Structure 1
Amino acid sequence: MFTLALLLCLPVIALAATSYSIQDTYIGHDFLDTWNWETANDPTHGRTDYVDKKTAISSNLSVASDRSFLMRADSVNMVPPGQRGRKSVRISSPGAYGDSVLVLDLWHMPTGCATWPAFWTLSKNGPWPHGGETDVIEGVNNNIDNLASLHTTGNCTMPQTREQHGHTVSTQCDTRFNYNQGCGVSFTKPNSYGQPFNANGGGWYAMSRGERGIFIWFWSRYDSSVPLEVSQGLSTVNPDPDLWGKPDAAFPTDSCDYQSHFDAHNIVFDLTFCGDWAGSAYGSSGCPGNCIDFVDNNPRAFDEAYWEISSLRIYTPNDNTSLL
């Protein structure tokens, strides 16, 4: 009786945590049936010819099955004179999302000299950079460490030191500084990007965004710490660092007002070549010759330049909070 009375006198401590429920799931044919194929000139000045869905399907650049979706660059033909560049694919989601959690199960990402793939989000309303941009997966040439970044309008910076596994590369998110470098975090976990990622069977990327900030996690395919709700694609997720572990990249809102810098975003997968980043870094990447010449004249060099997506799930906040 004494023990029971003591327990009744103790204060009840409950931690309120936002729980997210599944809103949209994309697997295999869902990408072909609902996503948008974008064909405008590459805004990053790549040696790239983005093709429409009909061309992508007929050229075997976009392929769906019951379990995966594959999008790739042309690895058969040389680039004829006068063309925009090597044929490739850029797709965007049919919906735009505000506060949310994205969970990407990815088997393979494009890799190799001259490549510049990205999985990212940007404002539906724009014009860019209004409404913000978040780069979840990005790298160039033979990189092996993922770079996650934000690109924003003015008055948005990040602290040099924060609770994250990754290494802070830059703290200024404003696109007007450092040639639009953005505020970036280089991942330090093994197998986060490029050839090592693919050789290890891929893995999972997750991004949460909301009033506390934007946080990105990565788990390699055989990482025993991956949360079950992530690896199994469960109907609800709770991206709390106490449950998911420290994020690989953290972008808190201490010195970057969330509401004024970020609105509803579309999701984008793309693959370009050379351009503003891959082109400028090409000479120091151990790649042969000239970037544009390499893209034009070496189609078989792009055999590994493809995305293979197992699934993409988007979760949105529940109306109430859960008690832990």
Structure 2
Amino acid sequence: MRTGHAFLATLHLLSLTQCASAWFYLDKEWIGEAFFDGWDWETENDPTHGRVNYVSQADAMSKNLSYVEDGQFFMRADDVSIVDTTARGRDSIRISSRDAWEEAIFVLDVEHMPAGCSTWPAWWTLSRKGPWPNGGEIDIIEGVNLNVENQATLHTTPECQMPPDYLRQPQSGTSLNTDCDTSVDNNAGCGARFSNSGPSYGKPFNENHGGYYTMVKSPSSGIQVWFWPRDSPDIPTEIRHGVSNETTIYPTWQWGEPAANFPMLKDYCDYHDHFNAHRMVFDLTFCGDWAGNVWSTSGCGPTTCVDFVNNNPSAFSEAYWTINSLRVYTPK
């Protein structure tokens, strides 16, 4: 049995490096003012039932919730207003890319993420074709309340499971649930907690001036997420500085172990059955299906989550994204 396990683990390690045979070229780049093009500011009701009012691009800019300063792109929640109990929620931002990618490398240089009680920020991708969960969802950055460790998670239609832990390596994160099916375990999905990745989320992340998140989405290698803190000496040059249109990039063992590794092995989770072209999403909601449901154990005080959001505007002074750059690379 040990021999069999070792053989399968070797096969998986080979699959992780297969995408080295595919060269990826810069497809899209957003820095500063470029974020105001190519994205939709969504204003519908929050599908996760948060105490939030997503505003349009025009409203976000007029209210100084979306802006550029010193070349950095900011998205923030309102931190000055008491929210009326009859209102939809606290003003905030949700944007989705107009483009979608079947196979790509996504590289985000983020200096600050929303943090604090009731917050539920995320950078994630989902199927453009849908409807959800058809085509899958990949949560790259996500957490709630006072969390200090990031969690990356897949959410899919049935018959997508991660293989046993000995097949999931190499990864530095801690494996969570292995069934990605949204109808299982209250849509917990299958995920990895970034337990050994340095300051990957929340207040510690912001105090360290953030870092670099990279997600690879590929039929040949599956889905992996890497994270490097801002002060890490191991940040690859192409991640830190990006590459030009004439230069190529590819993910291999040279980047080190991913924090989260989701192999798409056919007997467990066939990529083409569960994932297709994905759009990117940034959002910041409050309370809702996750942050609200764990409020009582969050250490955030005796009030209810909704009351906290309504009546404590100054508590949201740290509820903002600061993004230095976002790049997407695709094979040609």
TM-based fold match above 0.5: yes
Aligned partner of 1:102 in structure 2 is 106
Q: Distance in 1 between matches of 2:202 and 2:176?
A: 19
3-state SS of paired residue (2:187) = coil
- Quote the offset at 1:64 in angstroms: 1.7
Query: Residue 198 of structure 1 is aligned with which of 206, 209, 212?
Result: 206
Is the Cα–Cα contact under 8 Å of residues 38 and 99 in structure 2 kept in the other structure? no
Q: Distance in 2 between matches of 1:252 and 1:61?
A: 38
Aligned partner of 1:227 in structure 2 is 236
Q: Would you identify which runs of 4 or more consecutive aligned residues in structure 1 move more than 4 Å?
A: none
Residue type at the aligned position of 1:260: D
Equivalent residues in 2 for 1:246-261, closer than 5 Å? 246-254=257-265, 255-261=268-274
May I ask how many residue pairs the two structures share in their alignment?
303
- Quote the offset at 1:65 in angstroms: 3.9
Aligned partner of 1:316 in structure 2 is 330
- Quote the offset at 1:66 in angstroms: 5.7
- Quote the offset at 1:118 in angstroms: 0.3
Is the Cα–Cα contact under 8 Å of residues 67 and 310 in structure 1 kept in the other structure? yes
How big is each residue's C-alpha offset from its partner over 1:241-298, in whole Å with a ceiling of 9 and x where there is no partner? Answer: x210111000001211001110101100000000000001111010012100000000
Q: Distance in 1 between matches of 2:60 and 2:114?
A: 16
Residue type at the aligned position of 1:186: R
Equivalent residues in 2 for 1:40-189, closer than 5 Å? 40-65=44-69, 67-161=71-165, 162=168, 163-188=170-195, 189=197
3-state SS of paired residue (1:74) = coil
How big is each residue's C-alpha offset from its partner over 1:186-228, in whole Å with a ceiling of 9 and x where there is no partner? Answer: 0021200000000001100000111220000000001011110
3-state SS of paired residue (2:49) = coil
Q: Distance in 1 between matches of 2:102 and 2:235?
A: 25
Instruction: Structure 1: state its 5+ residue gaps.
Output: 1-14, 319-324
Query: Residue 244 of structure 1 is aligned with which of 248, 255, 258?
Result: 255
Q: Normalized against structure 2, the TM-score is what?
A: 0.90
Aligned partner of 2:7 in structure 1 is none
Alignment of 1:299 onto 2:308: no
Is the Cα–Cα contact under 8 Å of residues 137 and 154 in structure 2 kept in the other structure? yes
Aligned partner of 1:4 in structure 2 is none
Name the stretch that deviates more: 173-182 or 64-73.
64-73
Q: Normalized against structure 1, the TM-score is what?
A: 0.92
Q: Distance in 2 between matches of 1:89 and 1:205?
A: 20
Q: Distance in 2 between matches of 1:94 and 1:259?
A: 22
Instruction: Structure 2: state its 5+ residue gaps.
Output: 1-17
How big is each residue's C-alpha offset from its partner over 1:129-165, in whole Å with a ceiling of 9 and x where there is no partner? Answer: 0000000000000000000000000100012412100
- Structure showing greater Rg: 1
Equivalent residues in 2 for 1:15-26, closer than 5 Å? 17-26=21-30
What's the RMSD between the two structures over aligned residues? 1.1
How big is each residue's C-alpha offset from its partner over 1:25-73, in whole Å with a ceiling of 9 and x where there is no partner? Answer: 0111111133110000000000000000111111110012462110000
- Quote the offset at 1:81 in angstroms: 2.5
3-state SS of paired residue (1:125) = coil
Query: Residue 293 of structure 2 is aligned with which of 252, 262, 280?
Result: 280
Residue type at the aligned position of 1:157: Q
Is the Cα–Cα contact under 8 Å of residues 160 and 180 in structure 2 kept in the other structure? yes
Residue type at the aligned position of 2:269: C
